[in-house]
Amino acid sequence: MDAHDYGIDAEKLRAVWQRVMAAKSVGAEQERVRQAPPPMKTDAERLVKFIDAASAAAAIYRACASRSSGKVRRELMALSSAQTTSAQKLRARYYILTGNNYAPPPCCPYIISLPKTLAMRFEAEKSAYSDYVKAANETQDTSLSDLYFALAALSQRNADALLCLLESLL
User: What's the pLDDT at 110?
Assistant: 81
- For residues 60, 65, 66 and 71, what is the CA-based torsion angle, rounded to 10 degrees? 180
User: What's the pLDDT at 24?
Assistant: 67
Per run of 10 residues, the mean pLDDT along the chain (length 170 residues) is: 63 79 63 54 90 95 92 95 96 92 87 90 95 93 93 96 90
Instruction: Tell whether 137 is covered by a domain.
Output: yes
CATH number at residue 88: 1.20.1260.10
Measuring CA to CA, which residue among 151, 116, 114, 146 is closest to residue 131? Answer: 151
User: What's the pLDDT at 151?
Assistant: 96
Instruction: Tell whether 123 is covered by a domain.
Output: yes
Instruction: Tell whether 97 is covered by a domain.
Output: yes
Please, what is the Cα angle at 79 between 146 and 75, to 5 degrees? 140
The whole-angstrom separation of Cα 23 and Cα 26 is 5
Taking the CB of residue 104, how many other CB atoms lie within 10 A of it?
A: 17
Instruction: Tell whether 9 is covered by a domain.
Output: no
Range of the domain at 107: 54-169
Taking the CB of residue 144, how many other CB atoms lie within 10 A of it?
A: 19
How many structural domains comprise the chain? Answer: 1
Measuring CA to CA, which residue among 108, 156, 133, 135 is closest to residue 49? Answer: 135
User: What's the pLDDT at 81?
Assistant: 96
- Radius of gyration over alpha carbons of the chain, in Å? 27
User: What's the pLDDT at 12?
Assistant: 79
Instruction: Tell whether 124 is covered by a domain.
Output: yes
Look at the chain and count its residues: 170
Instruction: Tell whether 128 is covered by a domain.
Output: yes
Each residue of 76-101: b (16+ CB within 10 Å) or e? bbebbebbbebbebbbebbeeeeeee
